[in-house]
């Protein structure tokens, strides 16, 4: 073989290897990482109250990892409702959910109202809908996420205690473990919390106040990063612009219900928790004696970056898919 021929062949082989290597590792146009739903999620919240519940619902609906077959609405504590909304916070919550779903542009999951505004422990349409979904045969496991009082979840468990074995509940509520203390979702319906925590055997993940308050989103970031993404994002942002007069908004707004989506649809692996004995709930919200044989999963530290990053990215993906301008 002539020396020049040998050199030319080596050069050709090296070039071919480089081309093949680049083809192997270069992403094909339009390809995405495959994801499919791994759970059904019933979303329960007092949507007529703090708008962080609507932000969490939008995040849950946009997630490719969960399917939402049902949204249930609970009431707002009468002490925190005023004006035209007083006495109709369930209806207001249902309207806001319908409006959000319409703006996302997806098929409406059923939106079912909870019980009365006074938190009476009677069966409700929401409780019956939760029972029906829990008893329905489906290969996907069922998670119930609750960002408000446990009124609807407790009512469902009263109707049919057997559903405790067919679902997992993730709840934003309760004070710091093991002492406890006043916390809105707990104190709004203490009896419902007692039923779920103390007397049921439903698997329960609790995100107490010190954990969910970690989910802080800078007001400046909300204006600069959230609002410009799309009309949907702007609508969500606008829900935060009319807080009650008694709220003094600081430098950040806690998106306290977003852990529900982080733990059900993104990942619980980068957050920290302990499986601890459940404790009885006193009238003032403090925890008392341990409940024999009952444990709950108590989250202590949350992956805030992962939760907020996933939410913003899904909003951008939704805007791009609908032909909108994404900033």
CATH number at residue 121: 3.90.245.10
Whether residue 106 lies inside any domain: the answer is: yes
In the 8-state DSSP scheme, what is residue 178? T
3-class DSSP assignment, residue 144:
strand
Whether residue 146 lies inside any domain: the answer is: yes
- Does residue 3 surpass a pLDDT of 60? no
Whether residue 270 lies inside any domain: the answer is: yes
Mean pLDDT of the chain: 90
Whether residue 50 lies inside any domain: the answer is: yes
Whether residue 48 lies inside any domain: the answer is: yes
- Does residue 21 surpass a pLDDT of 80? no
> What gap in Å lies between CA 278 and CA 288, rounded to an integer?
9
Beta bridge partners of residue 170, listed in sequence order: 145, 205
Whether residue 247 lies inside any domain: the answer is: yes
Number of domains in the chain: 1
Whether residue 30 lies inside any domain: the answer is: no
Report which secondary-structure segment, H or E, holds 276. strand 272-281
Structural domain harbouring 207? 39-321
Task: Answer with the residue of higher pLDDT: 56 or 16.
Answer: 56
Whether residue 3 lies inside any domain: the answer is: no
Q: State pLDDT tens for residues 108-138.
A: 899 999 988 889 888 999 999 999 999 999 9
In the 8-state DSSP scheme, what is residue 180? B
The pLDDT value recorded for residue 78 is 85
Question: Are the beta carbons of 202 and 157 closer than 8 angstroms?
Answer: yes
Q: Which residues of 261-292 are buried (b: 16+ CB within 10 A; e: fewer)?
A: bbbbbbebeebebeeebbbebeeebebeeebe
């Amino acid at each position: 073989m002539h020396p020049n021929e040998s050199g030319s062949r080596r050069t050709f082989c090296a070039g071919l290897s480089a081309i093949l290597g680049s083809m192997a590792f270069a992403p094909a146009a339009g390809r995405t990482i495959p994801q499919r739903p791994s759970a059904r999620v019933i979303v329960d919240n007092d949507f007529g109250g703090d708008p962080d519940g609507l932000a969490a619902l939008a995040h849950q609906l946009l997630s490719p990892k969960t399917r939402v077959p049902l949204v249930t609405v609970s009431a707002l504590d009468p002490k925190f409702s005023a004006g035209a909304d007083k006495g109709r916070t369930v209806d207001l919550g249902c309207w806001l959910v319908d409006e959000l779903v319409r703006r996302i542009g997806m098929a409406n999951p059923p939106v079912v109202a909870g019980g009365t505004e006074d938190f009476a422990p009677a069966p409700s349409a929401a409780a019956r809908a939760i029972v029906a979904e829990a008893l329905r045969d489906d290969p996907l496991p069922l998670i119930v996420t609750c960002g408000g009082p446990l009124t609807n979840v407790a009512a469902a468990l009263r109707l049919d205690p057997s559903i405790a074995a067919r679902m997992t509940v993730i709840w934003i509520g309760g004070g710091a473990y093991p002492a406890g203390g006043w916390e809105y979702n707990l104190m709004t319906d203490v009896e419902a919390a007692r039923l779920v925590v103390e007397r049921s055997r439903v698997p329960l993940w609790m995100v107490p106040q010190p954990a969910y308050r970690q989910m802080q989103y800078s007001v400046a970031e909300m204006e600069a990063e959230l609002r410009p993404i799309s009309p949907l994002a702007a609508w969500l942002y606008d829900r935060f612009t009319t807080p009650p007069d008694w709220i003094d908004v600081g430098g950040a707004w806690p998106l306290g219900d977003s852990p529900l989506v982080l733990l059900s649809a993104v990942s619980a692996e980068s957050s920290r928790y302990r499986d601890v004995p459940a404790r009885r709930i006193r009238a003032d919200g403090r925890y008392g004696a341990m409940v024999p044989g009952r444990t709950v999963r108590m989250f202590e530290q949350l992956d805030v970056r992962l939760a907020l990053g996933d939410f913003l990215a899904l909003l951008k993906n939704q805007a791009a898919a609908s032909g909108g301008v994404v900033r």
